[in-house]
Structure 1
Amino acid sequence: MALAPLATVADLEARGLAVDASESGSVAVFLDVASSIVRDAAGSPISETTSTVDNLEGEPGQRLRLPGPPIRSVSAVSIDGTAVTDWKLVSGALFRAAGWRPGCDPATVEVTYLHGLPIVPADIVDLVCRMAAQALVKLRESPESLASKPVVQERIGDYSVTYAYELAYSEMEIPKYLRAQLAARFGTGGGQVVRMR
């Protein structure tokens, strides 16, 4: 199941960007893409969802960190396919006195849990809106082609136009410093979310 975008058309309009009915399909795509880029940079779904990770490496230690904090609740845990119930959720990690590796061999832990925030933070909504708005402005400037190069200079007398040599692949790129801030804020915690329910 796909996650809902981190911002809506109403959020865009609340920031002063009027969206025409004919643009609603494109804007929905822009909001979805921007949300995916922000989630990827954060290493977290950010909004509340139920996920299952099935590739966590069981460690001999007693604490097992889960990806995509904050962790709100855990509904199922198994080690190498065998359900276990002798764990406790403590500070966003699973605690198990016996550790997460039943023997000397590596173990695989599968966890189903509820995580993320029930309300998307205002600054994340704003970031997604700004990214989607840039894509919408680009679409309005050049609706005939997604691959058109931006005009950097134009002259009317004896008509002349200069296009940018460096083609930007997307108006929705996140700078490295912002990616680092998102990752630090939401933390990845290791592992990978592979399916959502």
Structure 2
Amino acid sequence: MALAPLATTADLDARRIAWDDEQLAETYLGVASAAVRDAAGVPISRVTSTVALYGDGSSWLRLPGPPIVSVTSVVLDGETVAPDGDGGYALIDGRLFRPYGWGVCAPVPRPVTVTYVHGLAEVPADVVDLVCRMAATAIVLAGEEDDGSGLAVSNIAAERLGDYAVTYNGESGTTEMELSDRTRSRLSNRFGGAGAQVVTVG
């Protein structure tokens, strides 16, 4: 299931970013949102996800993508775990607590599949702004040439006319949708996406 973009054309309007093709604007808002979510490691906005984790002898299991709103189901090594009672789990401060731990009597970490509701009810303003800026760059470039060649990325760093020479920048990104390592690290640390694989998002 496709997730709604983290920013809308109304957000572009609020920033006085010009656009005249709604399909194009929504396309790049979606692409930029996907890039930001990939860097964060979580959907950011509120969704229901199923994640695959691995439990060990610890009684605590951290769920990615805070805030954690509720847990729908927990399956430990193929067996459903009840939300209460003997051997059950409890959701405490965004983590699952199970008194017997998540890897009892197992020589290796045991797989835990959790379906839960998480994420922010409202996308943070700085994330909306980042998505809008990324989309705006693509919209401007797409409009520069009728054939779409404005979107072609140039990795030329310097040119000289006398005895013509050109220097290429091997560090340049493939598209304007690529985030810097610093921004990717900041998003990942902020939203806690490391250490879990999102299986499905609905």
Deviating beyond 6 angstroms after TM superposition, the runs of 4 or more aligned structure 1 residues are none
Deviations 1:100-120 (A, max 9, x none): 113223311111000100000
1:132/1:163 CA distance change after superposition, 3 Å: farther
Contact 1:80 1:109 in 2 (8 A): yes
Contact 1:65 1:189 in 2 (8 A): no
1:169 to 163, 168, 174: 174
2:145 to 142, 164, 168: 142
Q: Return the alpha-carbon distance in structure 2 between the equivalents of residues 164 and 33 of structure 1.
A: 30
2:161 equivalent in structure 1 = none
Instruction: Point out where structure 1 has 5 or more consecutive residues left out of the alignment.
Output: 154-161
1:52 equivalent in structure 2 = 50
1:104/1:18 CA distance change after superposition, 3 Å: same
1:68 to partner: Cα distance: 1.6
Task: Say which SS state the counterpart of residue 193 (structure 2) adopts.
Answer: coil
Percent identical residues = 49
2:124 to 121, 131, 134: 121
1:10 equivalent in structure 2 = 10
2:64 equivalent in structure 1 = 67
Contact 2:153 2:174 in 1 (8 A): no
1:103 equivalent in structure 2 = 105
Task: Say which SS state the counterpart of residue 70 (structure 2) adopts.
Answer: strand
1:140/1:67 CA distance change after superposition, 3 Å: same
Deviations 1:40-99 (A, max 9, x none): 11112110000011x311211100111222211111111111111111111211000010
Q: Return the alpha-carbon distance in structure 1 between the equivalents of residues 97 and 146 of structure 2.
A: 54
Contact 1:149 1:163 in 2 (8 A): no
1:42/1:149 CA distance change after superposition, 3 Å: closer
Letter in 1 for 2:23: G
Contact 2:45 2:122 in 1 (8 A): yes
Q: Return the alpha-carbon distance in structure 2 between the equivalents of residues 119 and 38 of structure 1.
A: 16
Report the TM-score, using the length of structure 1 for normalisation.
0.86
Contact 2:153 2:175 in 1 (8 A): no
1:93 to 92, 95, 118: 95
- How many aligned residue pairs are there? 186
Deviations 1:113-140 (A, max 9, x none): 0010000011110110000000001111
CA RMSD of the aligned region, Å?
A: 2.2
Task: Say which SS state the counterpart of residue 109 (structure 1) adopts.
Answer: strand
Contact 1:44 1:188 in 2 (8 A): yes
Contact 1:73 1:115 in 2 (8 A): yes
1:187 to 179, 184, 192: 192
Contact 1:67 1:193 in 2 (8 A): no
Q: Return the alpha-carbon distance in structure 2 between the equivalents of residues 103 and 10 of structure 1.
A: 54
